[in-house]
Structure 1
Amino acid sequence: MLLEHGTYSENISLCRQVKRWLLSCILPLACMLPGGLYAQYYPAPAPVAAYQLHALSTQLKTARNAHERVRVLNALCNLYHNLPYKNPADLKLAEQYAKQALAESTSINDQSGMSEALLLLGQLYYFNDDLNSFEQLPSKANDSTRAKLFLQLSFYIWGRDAKDKTPDYLKSNDYARQAAEISDRLGLKELSLMAARNIAINNLYLKKPDAEAEVLKVIERYKQTGYKKLQYIYYPLTCYFDFTRHTDKAYFYSEAAVAAVDATKDTLSAGDIYIEKSVLAYRREKYDETILACKKALTFYEHHPSVYYVSSPMVHEIISAAYNKMGKKTAATNYMLNALHQYPPRGTQDSLTYLLRLGNAFREQKAFDKSENCFKQIYNIAYRLHKDEEYANINLGHVYLDAGKFEKARHFLYKGLALTQPEENTAGLRYLHYMLYLADSATQHYLAAIEHLNKSNEHAFAEARLEQDKAVKQMEVAYQAREKEQELKLKNQNIIFLQRQGQAQKEKLKQSEKIGLLTAGALALAVVIMILLFFFYRQKQRSSREMTYKNQQLQKLVSEKEWLLKEVHHRVKNNLHTIFCLLESQARTATPEARSALEKSTHRIYAMSLFHQKVYQSGNIQHVDFGNYLREFLLFLQEGFDLETRNIRVTHQMTNVSLPLNLAMPLALIANEALTNAAKYAFEGRSSGEINLSLQTHEQAYRMTISDDGIGMTDPGSSDKQSLGMELMHGLCADIGAAINFEVNNGTRINIAFNAG
């Protein structure tokens, strides 16, 4: 399975690929920006869609003049460069169109065409990692285009791969400063902001103490200009904080970038943003989310490439690694093989990515022959290019170790150790010594094994110390940043205070000039206002006296009305009491049957009489204390039916509630019917008993319950003795919207539920 073919981009660095010889444990970092950056990471022409190819080809043949021909040549270059699948032949054709456009635009002095051709060539040299050709472009450009090319170079040098990135960050800053100088001179604010952004992000990687505060200032400057597409600064920040393992900040800026894409509907960088989101999900061991984010990124890359593209092996490698972490090792391998079939490698770097992922996948599946084949190809490429041979040896040794070929493993691991630089990362050396310990132990080189185990432990301790030092340093940097920020805020406050003070002095001088002119007018106005105020004061006094008089008259009428109503209730009570006495006298001489009917009537009349008495005795003629009324009515019932002599107890549990008259009167009659029935009929043939009345309330809901432990009703609705009383109770409940129900169980229980609202 020989993956490498052709010589395209063979000079692209192997470092990002072969350094990751522990891919089974480490996700490939998407923090450094490879390939071609588009959209508004740096100035570049807007992408031309692939569907325009036929129309542009026709226009190239039928161009009416040289200017139109230059425009079409640039558009064709743009189209071929931005095709989703980065085919070397397409990129070569794009470069030919750009160079032709540059030559023809130069010959006719078409400044617009020249600028576009130079920017397109910058993108192509960027993608092809051709720094020498790239750096020659600014000298051919006018000032504004030169500033844009400097920004392209700044991004390219910042994002390219290198073992020691510090010189690149410094050089990237130099180009950004040159771009800023030109932009400030020409008043190109957007380019000036891009330059400030590049410098601020480079300073983060250079670990300058105030770098984070500088980035926040740049973001604020963007916001102040009304610039909405902040994803183009949030994305590099996400990469930086992911690279430095500030997971919370990386996640914050990742979500902010997604939100900015959604808000602006600018999806040119959406693929990159979702790739970084997938990396963060991978680090949090959310592998389903990793795959989902990667596949969403691929849908964007199908329309336009950016940092990565639809055929980029790096993107498919993340998905394969996620499947592997989920335990779906076969799916991980098959996915990478399908990607290899669908998107063949376009050069050495793509080949290395496929080989490394497949080699590790086969090794984990214990398909050691296939894994060995992959890593042998990596080994051959490394030695052919004389680059990163140590990692090629270590990878091959790792396969032989897992396959149980310990002598071969020792051979390649020791070669890798000999080639490894002393400043190599601690984690890598720790694991290398651990593998050598295993290989030496298996081949009975015990002293060497113990030595490598000790070195592995030393590196582990050193790694732990580095992590501690890193944490302390991060805290120090954060503290210094906060101090700088506070100092900056204080300076800004002082500046603002002085500015305001100077402005106040100017305003004071202006006001002093106006005071003389305004004083006379103010005095005249004050006299007029005083006259008006006096007039309004007199009017208000007159109105107040009239209002007081009317209120007194109304209060008098209300008092008279209340007195009249009380008098009416008093007279009604007296009349009812007279009727009560007459009926009571007649009952003494009446037949037993008539007496029973008269007694019922007297009780009903007494209930109404007592009700009116409570009304006129109350201070409020609209409401009556219903609990107090019921207690007094129970005393009358107890005496009227001689309940104490009959050994019948009357108990009550009542809350003092104030009810409106239209509700209280029907309830009084209902209580009378229920209590009278209980006193007369519930204890026939019984020598003792108990009648209980309760009135409970909850907010605006009320429940009145009359119960006894007597013989109980046989049928609450059909007794001849009680039919009129039942009709009264049902009718009165219907009038006031109350619910009534009867329970017969060791006596009778009548529940009346109603609302006072």
Structure 2
Amino acid sequence: MEQTLLFLKQFFYLCFFSFYVSLTAQTDSLEQKLIKASKEEKIELYKQLANKYEKIKIDKAIDYAEQGLELLKGVNNKNTGFFYMRLGYLYNDKSEHIKALFYYKKALEVSEELDYELGIGKCYQNIGVTHVKMGNYDQALDYDLKALKIYEKHNKENLVAGIVGNIGSLYSCRLKDNENGLLYYNRALEISEKSGNDEFRVYILVAVAELYVRQKDIVKAKSTLKKAIDIAEEVNYPKVIISALANLSQISIEEEDFKQALMYSKRALQIRLESGYTEDDTSTYLTLAEIYEKLKNTKKAKVYYNQALTAALKSEALPQLSKVYEALHKYSDRRKNHKKSYEYILKYNEAKDSLFTIEKDKQLKEIQAKFDLENKEKEILFLTKENEIKVLENKNQSTTKNVLIIGVLALTITLLTVFYAYRNKQASNKILAEKNKVISQTLEDREILLKEVHHRVKNNLQIVSSLLRLQYKFGNHKSSSEVLHEIQDKIQAMSIIHERLYKSNNLSSINLKAYLDNLLSYFNTSYDLPEQNITITTDIDNIDLGMDRLVPCGLIVNEIIANSIKYAFQDEASGQINIKASKNKDKCVLTIEDTGVGFPEGFESKSSQSLGMQLIQGLTKQIKGTVDIISNPGACYTITFSMAQ
């Protein structure tokens, strides 16, 4: 197997090297022809060189396209439009979207001047693609619909199919409008089926399947993906087969059919290795690791986690590396390997910080590019006006009267330019003042938020400190591992609150149901409840609680559930813990009961000297609530407290 993989790898590199050498030889030959070429021949050569270098050196392709434009200075024809379009495409590849938009709009001006409708449609389509990359989805949709109208007018079926597919993706994936997304996807499928374009058809089928997944229509999603695989195998499209298999694997994982998921993922990996499509190996390895972990095969899971890390390090792609470190951190945590878990979370944070820095640098470059292009446009406008004035002066200098008229016109233009420049400066100053005001307000808001974060961290550290003291005081009869586990449970209950806050747009409150779901998931894993035949059920109303209520509430639930797991079910008996929470006007009623042995006869909660009971009663007082504890016949706790701060 290893020899086969080595052979395939060497074969791939050999093919790539041959392609590169061939392409380089072609470009060298074209560059030699430039030396003796006429102006018209040079324009054609610059077009070919821009296309050739696009595949091997983008900056050189840009340089040749700009040289072609320089030769066509002052002339607007299809060649001019070609160079503008090519520059837009190249700058999009460099993620410099502001520059890409500038050149696409220049190409649009040329097409409009030449009354070239198909060219106008292609400009609209490319401008739409750029707006998608920039996150301006409404503007992207507007340009795509304009392009579609032109393609339909000229009966260009292939162009119509492509733009209809784009619009479907825009509606479904970006604007979250699945109804319109499916409408356009189906239309694209009809066109591709009619024209026999199976290559385009399979891409659309995978997109439609992903839409069905988002709609939770798993039956249709599976059927569509299998249809896409059948067609892709006929036309030999390994990339689409890999994508479809990855989707089928994810669906099987959601359905907890891990053996089926494993089969799909292994097949996808095999096709990747055979075809050389290694662009997203990391995700495939992570999926396999997740599946093997679900199947309790930790040895295999570890192998694929390591392969995912190797692939991510080899690709040097920070998003993939960040994803792998996060997965390894969580895996190590689940395996109780806290040292490794800590190492991986540090590496994850480092990768995430690097990504943040790169994104900020990219945004700054785009702002600088926008500023440079605006200056360039102004300079071009100024030079154009200056040239017009000189032409007028040369044509009319034969008579004094014409010279006087030209002088008056020049003076008028200058005055108007000064006037409009003054108006524009005023408008710019006003916009700048508004932006400064927004920035100032944002800084104030962030300072307040930072103080609030410090305040919350201080409070929670004080709570942790108090819990440690109490645990020390009451934990003499327990082993160190038991004490540490109990402390870990309490800290985890508080940690989940901060995780929910981090993922939430609302920093003032957290949904109780979402919080308890996370907490119970932790208990299931930490105490291995399925092995103990213990189940936890919930019936939680839609209740939002502030930090001052949620921290004590979370610690109360943590303490009660931990007590039930430890003491309620004796002799390995199975059992159930039920949690209910409801609103009664401005009060929250939280009930936790189990089907265990209940409290011993004559038990009085108020006279109990156990740490658990004292914590429950003390925390209930902290949120100004009451607690009723009875045997029913198992233990039943009813905590009632006000939701108002």
Q: TM-score of the superposition, structure 2-length normalised?
A: 0.50
TM-score by length of 1: 0.43
Largest Rg, 1 or 2: 1
